Amino acid sequence: MVTVIINGKKYQAEEGRKLLQVALDNGIEIPHLCYHENLSSYGGCRLCLVELAGRKKSSLVTSCTLPVSEGLEVKTDTPQVKKARRLVMEMILPQAPDSLRIRVLARELGVSAVSFPSEGDGCIRCGLCVRACEELVGAGAISFASRGSARTVEPPFAEEPESCIGCGTCVVICPTDCIKMEERDDERKIIRWKRTLKMKSCVRCGRPFLPLAMVDVITRRSTSPPPGERLELCPDCR
Amino acid sequence: METREIDKIIARYNADPQEIMAMFMEIQDKEGYLPKSALSYLADKLHLRLAQLYRLATFYEAFNLKPQGDHQIHVCMGTACHVRGAPQVLDKLQQTLGITAGEVSSDGSFGLKTVNCLGACALGPVVVIDGEYCGHSSPLKMEKILKKYKKHT
């Protein structure tokens, strides 16, 4: 355990843990969009910037990529931090102008008018879906593509990704809600990736509830105990 | 591209995923671009995700995922070339070939791309066709050059 100083107060934390997580654990709010505690840190959205005290002068660093060490001292709410976050938000907002969560966060940070041209497709390139698909689901069906302002997140060749199992993790984790999922009859569709999957029906009520590709993966991966009825019955019938 | 040839390339690099860029380059040298089937095969053999390979292939300007024209035309749009009239040269090429930069002409004979600086500013505006530098180019010169290359195909 090490002692870190956040906004002048001392906190105990496990060495190497990311500062953002330490702050959140202790109830200190730091806005963030590309961080998730179960995924690797990416430092992409730049909203979690904090002021790190240095020997001579302080600097702005992303707290989601900052491992804590003994005596680390940061401030999360200085005028400099607020100004930097505002600028970052001014650039994020035009990318996802229709997202409620982004709009609310923007207002909280004091950004109302959009000063950059709005040409957003709703995706802010935070990479949460890419990391979740790779690290949590283990499918790796989507990735970043291209570079610079042309950068997008898409399946290989922007075609229906065969390795997508239709679990919907990307749908849930997307901070701007730009990945939509649709279920009709026995088909599930992840619209953004153009992925359509057949679903397995509940043996009791007959309602389709789980993509067949997911059944395959769960059966293959689970060792003991066998998944049993979880794969036969829908959540309502269990 | 036949899988046998890809196997040879993979073997040459001991199936080391770190050498993926070199493998890409060899495949592109042979095919002129990176076919989807080749990427899928590579991913399979090297136990990498297709998405990873796709990310790499799209990140670098040097890799093409679509078939390229028989002749590659690069028009320099760097600052020096720009002030010396590169936009007019590019316009001329786009009109004559009926394509915009980044595309391949319908008969597949020419591919047109822009680059940001070739480091040959004194020759501006510079156009490179199949690696051959054409300095002090002009819309008029482009017509002649296109004709010359057309004969080769």
Please give the ipTM for the structure prediction: 0.88
User: Are B54 and A161 inside 8 Å of each other by CB?
Assistant: no
For residues B115 and B72, is the Cβ–Cβ distance under 8 A? no
Question: Regarding beta strands A181-184 and A152-154, do their DSSP bridges make them parallel or antiparallel, or are they unpaired?
Answer: unpaired
Integer Rg of chain A from CA: 21
For residues A46 and A116, give the distance between their C-alpha atoms in angstroms, rounded to a whole number.
17
Tell me whether the omega of the peptide bond preceding residue B139 falls within 30 degrees of 0, making it cis. Answer: no
The residue to which tokens 């849930």 are assigned: A172
Cross-strand partners of A73:
A5
For residues A89 and A51, is the Cβ–Cβ distance under 8 A? no
> From the list B49, B50, B55, which residue is nearest A144 (CB)?
B55
> What are the boundaries of each domain within chain B?
3-59, 71-152
Q: What confidence score (pLDDT) does residue A54 get?
A: 85
Query: How many angstroms separate the CA of residue A142 from the nearest CA in chain B?
Result: 6
For residues B106 and B68, is the Cβ–Cβ distance under 8 A? no
> From the list A146, A147, A156, which residue is nearest B51 (CB)?
A156
> From the list B39, B51, B65, which residue is nearest A140 (CB)?
B51
Strands (DSSP E) contained in chain A are 2-6, 9-13, 49-52, 59-62, 73-75, 143-145, 152-154, 181-184, 187-190, 195-201, 208-211
How confident is the model over A123-145, as a mean pLDDT? 96
For residues A153 and A125, give the distance between their C-alpha atoms in angstroms, rounded to a whole number.
7
CA atoms lying within 13 Å on the CB side of residue A21: 18
Considering only CB atoms, which chain B residues are within 8 Å of A165? none
Q: What confidence score (pLDDT) does residue B121 get?
A: 93
> What are the boundaries of each domain within chain A?
2-108, 128-231
User: Are B52 and A142 inside 8 Å of each other by CB?
Assistant: no
Chain CA centroid to CA B58, Å = 13
- Tell me the residues of chain B between 54 and 73 that have a Cβ less than 8 Å away from chain A: 54-55, 58-59, 61, 65
For residues B70 and B76, is the Cβ–Cβ distance under 8 A? no
What's the mean pLDDT when you consider all of chain A?
Answer: 93
For residues A93 and B98, give the distance between their C-alpha atoms in angstroms, rounded to a whole number.
38
Residues near A204 by Cβ (< 8 Å), separated by ≥ 6?
Answer: A233, A234, A237
CATH number for the region A2-108 comes to: 3.10.20.740
Q: Which portions of chain B are predicted below pLDDT 50? A: none
For residues A36 and B37, give the distance between their C-alpha atoms in angstroms, rounded to a whole number.
35
**Residue A191, φ and ψ in degrees, nearest 5:** -65, -45
Residue A3 contacts B, CB cutoff 8 Å: no
**A174, exposed or middle or buried, with CB in 10 Å at 0-12, 13-18, 19+?**
buried
User: What would be the CATH architecture of the domain defined by B71-152?
Assistant: 3-Layer(aba) Sandwich (3.40)
CA atoms lying within 13 Å on the CB side of residue A154: 18
With cut-offs at 50, 70 and 90, classify the pLDDT of residue A9.
Answer: very high
* Residues B42-54 pLDDT 10s: 999 999 999 999 9
Q: How many residues does chain A have?
A: 238
Which residue has better confidence, B32 or A135?
A: A135
Which residue has better confidence, A119 or B60?
A: B60
Largest CA-CA distance found in chain A, in angstroms, rounded: 69
Q: What percentage of chain A exceeds 70 in pLDDT?
A: 98
